[in-house]
Amino acid sequence: MAYRTSMQIVADLLDAAQQSGQEGIKTTALLTKANLSHSRLSKFLENLTGAGLINKIEFDGRNTFVITSKGRQYLDSYVNFSGIAESFGLEL
């Protein structure tokens, strides 16, 4: 079983948020899709919101996360670079 890098986890989180559209994705759904523990997810979400890649919307005591345009740009760049790296036989 191969471990994911932090960059791969970030890409997984951004991809999950992007797939959810403008309605956003709730914490529990992100936990499932990204296959992370709650404590690890919290650290990643703190970094992603701090970097402006996702927005956290709090409503009724529940958090929803929506990808920003900066987050979409980061994800697109990651996917492109990952494809280039793979074409040279490299893993990110």
Q: What is the largest CA-CA distance in the chain?
A: 48
Number of domains in the chain: 1
Report if residue 12 sits inside a domain.
yes
Q: Is the pLDDT of residue 2 over 90?
A: no
Taking phi over 0 as left and psi of -120 to 50 as alpha, with beta for the rest, 40 belongs to: alpha
List the domain range (segments joined by +) for residue 43.
6-87
Query: Residue 56 contacts by C-beta under 8 Å, 6 or more apart in sequence?
Result: 45, 49, 63, 64, 65
Percent of the chain with pLDDT over 90: 88
Task: State the pTM of this model.
Answer: 0.92
Report if residue 55 sits inside a domain.
yes
pLDDT of 23: 92
Report if residue 80 sits inside a domain.
yes
Q: Is the pLDDT of residue 81 over 80?
A: yes
Report pLDDT digits (tens) over 18-54: 999 999 999 999 999 999 999 999 999 999 999 999 9
Report if residue 38 sits inside a domain.
yes
H/E element, 54: strand 54-59
> Residue 48 is part of a domain; what is its CATH number?
1.10.10.10
Report if residue 70 sits inside a domain.
yes
The residue ranking higher by pLDDT, 47 or 60, is 47
Q: Is the pLDDT of residue 1 over 70?
A: no
Report if residue 1 sits inside a domain.
no
